[in-house]
Structure 1
Amino acid sequence: MCPKATSAPKPTAGKPLHKFYIDYSVPAADNVFDPAAFEKFLQDRIKVEGKLGQLGENITVGREGNKLVLTSLIPFSKRYLKYLTKKHLKKNSFENFLRVVATSRDTYSLRYFKVDQDEAEDEE
């Protein structure tokens, strides 16, 4: 007989399963981006078990300095966080000059699009 396959250990009640960061320091320094509105948007739009805005104890969204921190006790996709961030940028008409870039395994960063100076010189 085959021994039973053991699954990964389940996280304890206090230990987060996922912790993601969104660094918005660049646009916040220029007073372009409102972090409070972004935090509220995420709290309202994150779906848990198919229901909007019902985060409960499983997911917490908060700010630490110039970073937004999402802590999840249940499985949560980093890609879903990027999707919601891009949706917020589009809603506030930031999608033309801000983009979402993965800077590390658990961090996204909001950056400006680079505009080549060479194009401006060629037009002159």
Structure 2
Amino acid sequence: MPAVRSKTQPKKLWPKFEIDVSDPANDKIFDIHMFEKYLHDRIKVNGVAGKLGNTIIITKTADTTINVTSKIDFSKRYIKYLTKKFLKKNNLKDWIRVVSTDKKTYKLKYYNINQEQMAE
């Protein structure tokens, strides 16, 4: 007797990514509202920028983190790319870098310039 298969598919978990901007936001050099709007305007869905619909949800939590939840396949690397473009546009790229802290999270950190100068 063959094995009986269930007709229901397992529930697919939506990819949820987090960007922690606490360090520069607390120092008041990074505007989290502008960054959230930048993501809304720049993320492309089916080749069209700015029309997220219900497929991608961008939320701001606790004034230091931005969560990006996607109902479609979405790359974490794409979030890093857009974050770096935002930093360059606002002339912050020389002081802030984007670092992956775990599988679902990016954190904006300052370059540690003092240690580099001491090593020379």
For the superposition of Structure 1 and Structure 2, which TM-score range results when normalised by the shorter chain?
0.7 to 0.9
Say if 2:107 is the partner of 1:109: yes
Q: What does residue 45 of structure 2 align with?
A: 48
Q: In the TM superposition, what whole-angstrom CA distance separates every residue of 1:59-103 from its partner, at most 9, and x where no partner exists?
A: 011101110000101000000000000000000000000000000
Q: Displacement of 1:17 after TM fit?
A: 1.3
Counterpart-to-counterpart distance in 2, 1:39 and 1:59:
13
Matched residue type, 2:22? S
Q: Percent identity?
A: 46
Give the TM-score normalised by structure 2.
Answer: 0.86
Counterpart-to-counterpart distance in 2, 1:43 and 1:11:
27
**Helix, strand or coil at the partner of 1:44:** helix
Counterpart-to-counterpart distance in 2, 1:49 and 1:10:
25
Change (3 A) 1:103 1:79: same
Q: What does residue 73 of structure 2 align with?
A: 75
Change (3 A) 1:49 1:26: same
Counterpart-to-counterpart distance in 2, 1:42 and 1:76:
14
Q: Displacement of 1:120 after TM fit?
A: 5.9
Say if 2:26 is the partner of 1:33: no
Q: What does residue 56 of structure 2 align with?
A: 59
Counterpart-to-counterpart distance in 1, 2:119 and 2:44:
47
Instruction: List alignment gaps of at least 5 residues for structure 2.
Output: 1-8
Matched residue type, 2:39? L
**Helix, strand or coil at the partner of 1:31:** coil
Give the TM-score normalised by structure 1.
Answer: 0.83
Q: CA RMSD of the aligned region, Å?
A: 1.9
Instruction: List alignment gaps of at least 5 residues for structure 1.
Output: 1-8
Conserved? CA contact 1:11–1:17, under 8 Å: no
Say if 2:14 is the partner of 1:22: no
Counterpart-to-counterpart distance in 1, 2:55 and 2:116:
49
Change (3 A) 1:120 1:37: same
